[in-house]
Amino acid sequence: MLSRRDFLSVAAATAAVTGLGPHLARAAARQQITEDQLLRFEPKGQVTILHLTDCHAQLAPIYFREPSVNLGVGEVLGHPPHVTGEDFLQRFSIPPRSHQAYALSSVDFVALAREYGKVGGMDRMARLIDAIRTERGADRTLLLDGGDTIQGSYTSLQTKGGDMVDVLNQLGVEATTGHWEFAHGAERVVELYGNNETSGTCKAAFLAGNIFDTEWDESVFHATKMFEKGGVKIAVIGQAFPFVPIANPRYLVPDWSFGIREKVVRKHVAEARDAGAELVILLSHNGFDVDRKLAGRVPDIDVILTAHTHDALPAPIKVGNTLLVASGSSTKFLSRLDVKVDNGRLVDFSYALIPVLTDAITPDPEMAKLVRDIREPHEPMLSEVLGRTESLLYRRGNFNGTFDDLICQALLEERDAEICFSPGFRWGPTLLPGQDITWDDVYSLTGLTYPATYRLNFTGQLIKNILEDVADNLFNKDPYYQQGGDMVRVGGMSFVMNVDDTIGRRIDDMRLLRTGEPIDLQREYVVSGWASVNENTEGPAIWDVVGRYIKHKKVIRVPENNNIKVVRG
């Protein structure tokens, strides 16, 4: 694991190749960041690896605020990515108010968002990829996608992910893996991506060596694909999200088993080396801390392109001889990793996490046309204004986000509930104070394939059990037991959480906000929620509930959420 000095030295090297420095920071403050500056890079070695991940079907530019709270537990306490805000900027020597400070932290977010503008957009991403391919050569460039690609928008829902497969094909992605892909169901995944026996409509190899069928215990998808780039033999091993049947509905993938499967990963790495691989890449959707532990236990992986937890780091983290690369989410970043391989081993590298600043990048015309063709039939509905927000609406954060608070308000009022639960999802754009709220925004924060909002009676004991279970999935000191989301959002009640305690002991002092009275473990409460993993859940779709609430309120104000008290130790 890198020391602080190591972090700073790598960050300084990153600054050199990406143009980060006082002059560029001042230029950025005057809105003079250019496409050429974002792409500035001194090539190194034989191969350029490009990585994007967790785009969550975001086709158009958005605002996206990074978390202000991202707690680590156990051995990773205080280590990136569990460092935020001013501490993050200082750790990586990022100048305040620079474009990197805007992209990578929540510090002064609203002011910097108004200054730098939106991020992402697939047409801008395509432009950056094409520019790097042109400069480096397609035969020396490998483009990989880390999954969570075909979920998170209205058009992806309508096309069952087909729109995003068209995007991947247009980008020229060469391999990908999955997580939310499986929320479209096993049959649709095979239609889009193929499996061990068939091809899908996606031209990229879908790699998922940790998925087996439950009847014969045989692999469902290819695990590894060999590439030759710049004269280097490269093995890309795919690792899908290990906890799909737990975090998502089991009935959507009833005949497949998942898991981290460390021994299987070790086997695939050994087989790749035996086949002559000089560079071994794990294209992973495990989540950062899981991959950090895996890197320390499975030798001979050169690079882990990590995903799922949406972390964005301006320098790779080195564990042993393995580089961990975290490329953010929502088409906000493109990672460029140049590697030098000698005698079959990675000996040197250069890295840049390129922020996709929309206003600084010329749209790629072909991708712009594809995006327009996808969205245009739905634009009248998507652009309909439901209301306006006076609050910053965001999702990221371990315990709450203001858009999640808005969803909870809607669940409580529209479903006439005492308490509500909303999942700790990390996907979805940010809205600035003063922005209109449209159907496009609502679907981008609620668009999944099991949207029913339930209204049920839960005992106080069941409520506590749910909170304890989710907290352990998030804060278990062993990363292999972490599922990588954020804490379930709760409306209508308050509680105290000790994140460093053990399961059954983290949640205390639960109170019903309506009365201020302690939650009675024996009493039943009316609870609403959505995204239940149980089949045949009944209730109106979450987007209708939230849309109706916004239309009724017209102006959205989300007060500061002080209902969760976090203690440590």
Q: What is the pLDDT of residue 31?
A: 56
Q: What is the pLDDT of residue 569?
A: 85
Structure tokens at 302: 């050169």
356 and 387 assigned to the same domain: no
Q: Has residue 325 got a pLDDT over 70?
A: yes
Q: What is the pLDDT of residue 484?
A: 79
399 and 323 assigned to the same domain: no
491 and 512 assigned to the same domain: yes
Mean of pLDDT values over 122-141: 98
Structure tokens at 282: 């794990």
Q: Tell me, yes or no, whether 363 lies in a domain.
A: yes
Nearest to 67 by CA among 53, 97, 87: 87
Mean of pLDDT values over 322-345: 97
Mean of pLDDT values over 241-261: 97
Give CA–CA dist 193/199, Å, rounded: 7
pTM, rounded to two decimals: 0.94
Q: Has residue 208 got a pLDDT over 50?
A: yes
Contact 415, 455 (CB under 8 A): yes
Give CA–CA dist 151/446, Å, rounded: 10
Q: What is the pLDDT of residue 458?
A: 98
Domain boundary among the residues 373, 403, 420 is at 373
Q: What is the pLDDT of residue 4?
A: 35
In this structure, what CATH number is given to the domain that contains residue 81? 3.60.21.10
Mean of pLDDT values over 370-389: 98
Q: Has residue 26 got a pLDDT over 60?
A: no
Q: Tell me, yes or no, whether 319 lies in a domain.
A: yes
Element containing residue 419 per DSSP (H, E): strand 419-422
**Amino acid in position 351:** Y
- The percentage of the chain sitting over the pLDDT mark of 90, rounded to a whole number, equals 93
Q: Tell me, yes or no, whether 130 lies in a domain.
A: yes
343 and 429 assigned to the same domain: no
Q: Has residue 17 got a pLDDT over 80?
A: no
Q: Tell me, yes or no, whether 152 lies in a domain.
A: yes
In this structure, what CATH number is given to the domain that contains residue 431? 3.90.780.10
Q: Is 44 exposed, middle or buried (0-12, 13-18, 19+ CB in 10 A)?
A: middle
Q: What is the pLDDT of residue 292?
A: 98
Q: Tell me, yes or no, whether 378 lies in a domain.
A: no
Q: Has residue 18 got a pLDDT over 50?
A: no
User: Which residues does residue 323 pair with via DSSP β-bridges, in sequence order?
Assistant: 303, 318
Domain that holds residue 431: 383-567
147 and 267 assigned to the same domain: yes
Q: Where are the beta strands (DSSP E) in 261-418?
A: 279-284, 303-306, 317-319, 322-326, 333-342, 345-355, 385-389
Q: Has residue 16 got a pLDDT over 90?
A: no
Domain boundary among the residues 352, 373, 394 is at 373
98 and 161 assigned to the same domain: yes
387 and 271 assigned to the same domain: no
Q: Is 69 exposed, middle or buried (0-12, 13-18, 19+ CB in 10 A)?
A: middle
Q: What is the pLDDT of residue 14?
A: 39
Structure tokens at 27: 């230029």
Distances (CA, A) of 88 to 7, 101, 102, 141, 337: 11, 9, 12, 31, 22
Give CA–CA dist 309/439, Å, rounded: 26
pLDDT digits (tens, 9 = 90+) for 147-194: 999 999 999 999 999 999 999 999 999 999 999 999 999 999 999 999
Q: Has residue 28 got a pLDDT over 60?
A: no
Q: Tell me, yes or no, whether 109 lies in a domain.
A: yes
Q: What is the pLDDT of residue 485?
A: 80
155 and 304 assigned to the same domain: yes
pLDDT digits (tens, 9 = 90+) for 454-509: 999 999 999 999 999 999 999 999 999 998 789 999 999 999 999 999 999 999 99
Phi, psi of 197 (to 5 degrees): -110, -25
Nearest to 357 by CA among 39, 24, 11: 39
181 and 260 assigned to the same domain: yes
Q: What is the pLDDT of residue 327?
A: 98
Domain boundary among the residues 327, 355, 373 is at 373
Structure tokens at 495: 């509680």
- Give the number of domains in the chain: 2
pLDDT digits (tens, 9 = 90+) for 39-97: 999 999 999 999 999 999 999 999 999 999 999 999 999 999 999 999 999 999 999 99
SS3 175: strand
pLDDT digits (tens, 9 = 90+) for 259-278: 999 999 999 999 999 999 99
357 and 441 assigned to the same domain: no
Q: Which ranges constitute the DSSP H helices of 421-459?
A: 439-446
Contact 119, 99 (CB under 8 A): no
**Amino acid in position 95:** P
Distances (CA, A) of 18 to 9, 39, 47, 115, 228: 14, 7, 18, 20, 27
Q: What is the pLDDT of residue 32?
A: 78
184 and 247 assigned to the same domain: yes
Q: Tell me, yes or no, whether 224 lies in a domain.
A: yes
Give CA–CA dist 474/466, Å, rounded: 13
Contact 43, 348 (CB under 8 A): no
364 and 396 assigned to the same domain: no
Q: Tell me, yes or no, whether 117 lies in a domain.
A: yes
Q: What is the pLDDT of residue 21?
A: 41
Phi, psi of 501 (to 5 degrees): -85, -170
